[in-house]
Amino acid sequence: MNFEEHAAKPLLRAVGIETPKGSLATTPDEAERIAAEIGPCVVKAQVPTGKRGKAGGIKLAATPAEARAHAEQILGMTIGEHAVEKLLIEAQVPIATEMYAAVINDPESKGPLLLFSAEGGMDIEEIAERHPNALVRLPIDIRKGLDRDALASALPKELPVDRAALVDTLACLYAAYVENDAELMEINPLVVTRDGKLVALDCKFVMDDSAIPRHEELAKLGSPDKLTALEARAKELGLKFIELDGDVGVLANGAGLTMTSMDAVRHYGGKPANFLEIGGESYTKAKPALELVLANPRVKALLVNFCGAFARTDVMAEGVVNAWQELKPDIPIVFTIHGTGEEEAIAMVKERLGIEPYDLMDDAVRAAVAAAKGASQ
């Protein structure tokens, strides 16, 4: 779950990292009032996406009237497909130097990775490209926590701020990452002010979705992922569905089998049209699941891959067969079925649809990919 800047910065303040004074505004009147209270300010669009400045969503204001004018301009604009409905009005900070700092979930080390660069104020991709040697990467053992001595040694020899103070701030950043079950906790830029203070001018926070039940109040401040119409329908049905841009529909039971099926589709030269799994308690929802897949006009062929233990394959197959006969879609369908109830399921598919399921998943995937390519030609 993504969090907008105004919701992320209190998490930094809670661990001792300073941020500029500011308040949230939803109207030009509020922006003008807040600016009158704090003086020269920055008017910042609040949307769960980056590159706000490049899109015109961040403006400096010297007076309350100027803050109002910027608010009138920014409110209602669209940045990264998100309509701007809120503004953060913050006091301007006398910047001496901009730096970059973050803690992320690292797929390579399978743990936290602290990133730091004395070059900040730009995207991490730009930093890595322009100054690859300036980007410090420090893997952290989640069981032992941050090694402050290792961090102090890993930082550049020349720093624009006291080394101990910077280590303290980065340690606080790691604490915020841990305490809030973050996938990403980023400060960009982390600035050194003209009087030597460290201040976080921006903060990006992404919470691990699986941790939402542990942070129910905080999660209320998050920005739910923008769903397509089909994804919204799936959520209502209690199905795990992600719409993709491919043309091979995938219907399988269990997240692992679904991902394996999608990987196989890609391996054999196809592109999956969706992630959709009906494992666990959802195994009886084969019919509405199939309706979701077929509602995508890009789908040119359908791969059905069932492997049941607790979930009976004949129950899942019956839902698919019923829906197929009712909807009468004009696309090829390919089955591979194994596990509990497979004899009944295979017999049903043969009898009612006249289709012979494949014994090997690879053969089924090849057939589905070939069918989709043939339909596209």
Where residue 57 falls among pLDDT bands split at 50, 70, 90? very high
Tokens 């309350």 correspond to: 64
Could you tell me which residue, 232 or 59, shows the higher pLDDT?
59
The pLDDT value recorded for residue 238 is 85
Q: Is 283 a catalytic residue?
A: no
Structure-token match 């080390």, residue found: 109
Helix 286-294 vs helix 313-327: angle between axes, to the nearest 10 degrees?
40
DSSP string, 319-347: HHHHHHHHH--SS-EEEEEEETTHHHHHH
Among the listed residues 4, 186, 243, 342, the single catalytic one is: 186
Task: For residues 274 and 34, give the distance between their C-alpha atoms in angstroms, rounded to a whole number.
Answer: 46
Has this prediction a pTM greater than 0.75? no
23-51 confidence digits (pLDDT tens): 999 999 999 999 999 999 999 999 988 88
Which pLDDT belongs to residue 280? Answer: 64
Name the active-site residue from 90, 100, 177, 318: 100
Average pLDDT, the chain: 92
Q: Is the pLDDT of residue 72 over 90?
A: yes
pLDDT band at 84 (very low <50, low <70, confident <90, very high): very high
Q: 100-146 pLDDT, tens per residue?
A: 999 999 988 889 999 999 887 767 777 777 767 778 999 999 999 99
State how far the alpha carbon of 206 is from the alpha carbons of 102, 104, 371, in Å: 12, 9, 40
Question: Can you give the residue ranges of every domain in the chain?
Answer: 21-91, 95-219, 229-376
Per the CATH hierarchy, to which homologous superfamily does domain 229-376 belong? Succinyl-CoA synthetase domains (3.40.50.261)
pLDDT at 284: 74
User: Does 100 participate in catalysis according to the annotation?
Assistant: yes
Residue 375 has pLDDT above 90, yes or no: no
Task: For residue range 144-185, list pLDDT tens digits in order.
Answer: 999 999 999 999 999 999 999 999 999 999 999 999 999 999
CATH architecture of 95-219: 2-Layer Sandwich (3.30)
pLDDT computed for residue 283 by the predictor? 63
Is residue 48 within 8 Å of 21, Cβ to Cβ? Answer: no
Overall fold of domain 21-91: Dna Ligase; domain 1 (3.30.1490)
